[in-house]
Each structure stands twice: as structure tokens, then as C-alpha cells.
Amino acid sequence: MKAAATEAVSGSPKLVLDLTETTFVDSTALGVIIGLVKRVRPVGGDVVLVNVDPEIARTLAITGLDELLNVFEHRDPAVAALIDG
């Protein structure tokens, strides 16, 4: 995940992470996401999450990451937010 995400933001600082097929994230995955956010926000980019499983949403809330990350139910509003933001 880290290599793919790093490669993705090298071309554009705006990234949508679609978690449709993801039912669990560990501390390593959360660290990668936080690292991406820290890398792209200073240059006007952002990382948004879409299709987040309820258990992952719970993990984000428990860790306080729901305050740091923008989470959307669907891809289109996420893309629109990146374009407008």
C-alpha cells in the first residue's frame, strides 16, 4: 500500500482512497495514510477516503483520525471536494 500510495501522489497531490474491499486497517495502514496527508497538504493536496467500512470508521473515530481525514460515502462527492478544495 505504501509504495502504491507514494507513487500515486508523486503525480498529483490529490488522492482518493477507495476502501470498498477493505474491512480492517492496522496501525501500519493508518500510518501510511497519515504520512500521505502530511506529505500532500503542505503543497495544496489532500487525501480523502471513500466507501469506509463501519468498523474502519469506528477505528478512525477512536483514534481521532476522523478529525484529520475527510471521509465520504461515495466517490463522486470525494472527487468534487478535491477539485473544489
Domains and CATH numbers, the chain: 2-84 (3.30.750.24)
Q: How confident is the model at residue 76 (pLDDT cuts 50, 70, 90)?
A: very high
pTM of the predicted structure, to 2 decimals = 0.83
pLDDT digits over 34-66, tens only?
Answer: 999 999 999 889 999 999 999 999 999 999 999
9, 36 contact by CB (below 8 A): yes
Strand partners, 46: 14
CA-closest candidate to residue 18, choices 56, 45, 63, 59? 56
pLDDT digits over 7-41, tens only?
Answer: 555 667 899 999 999 999 999 999 999 999 999 99
